[in-house]
Amino acid sequence: MDEPIRALLRTVSTATLTTVLFKRGLRNVFLQNVHPVASGLPHMVGPAYTLRMIPAREDLDVLDAYADPNHPQRHAVEHCPKGHVLVIDSRKDARGASAGDILLRRLMVRGCAGVVTDGGFRDSPAVAALGFPAYHQRPSAPTGPIWHHAADTGLPIACGDVAVYPGDIMVGDGEGVVCIPRELAAAVAEEAAAATAYEEFVEAQVKAGRPLPGLYPATPESRAEFERWRIARGRG
């Protein structure tokens, strides 16, 4: 993705992004029950690289399966492109881990932008200590093949009840993760950045005791006042 767009998206919240997308008619963009593994992680921004899980089957899902270098989970970890986010469809099932700290460290070392699952990660204290943007439903110690079969990569998936297509832009902050259709990313980033700047002005006004009517939502008069406020602070 274009680096200026990535940089803009790092400055805006998932809350603002959901509003901007809602204005475009997109309601279901915030991944449900998907949370940061730890507080204080860097913002996550990057195109989605997808991995799909299906229910495990006892004759196929054994620990020896991981010895195959083409195992889809291992393939995803080794082939998720630099700057991308690995997004795992775990069917909202956190009974078995979607991955653990070694695999997530490998993603981090390879320069990936983050990892998201609607299941759970094992070794979660070690994952939290990585400082790598990682989002899951909850910690899950049991190894993945007890409940999951890694089926394929690079296809449309569901994650947290949201449709995620390869290349969609995933943005994560302390609140959660938003999926932005890739063709809208530039326009959404620019509008969200503008909205964020206006909200900074609103915050300053509210702290000073100003009431909300005529300020939030914006009016032509408040926007003109905002422009003067921004120029006065060297942001014009």
**Tens of each residue's pLDDT in the chain, 236 residues:** 899 999 999 999 999 999 999 999 999 999 999 999 999 999 999 999 999 999 999 999 999 999 998 999 999 999 999 999 999 999 999 999 999 999 999 999 999 999 999 999 999 999 999 999 999 999 999 999 999 999 999 999 999 999 999 999 999 999 999 999 999 999 999 999 999 999 999 999 999 999 999 999 999 999 999 999 999 987 66
Tokens of 117: 């699952």
Burial level of 140, CB count in 10 A (0-12/13-18/19+)? buried
Beta-carbon contacts of 25 under 8 Å, excluding residues fewer than 6 positions away, are none
Q: Which secondary structure element, helix H or strand E, spans residue 78, and what is its range? A: helix 72-79
Is pTM beyond 0.85 here? yes
Beta-carbon contacts of 222 under 8 Å, excluding residues fewer than 6 positions away, are 214, 215, 216
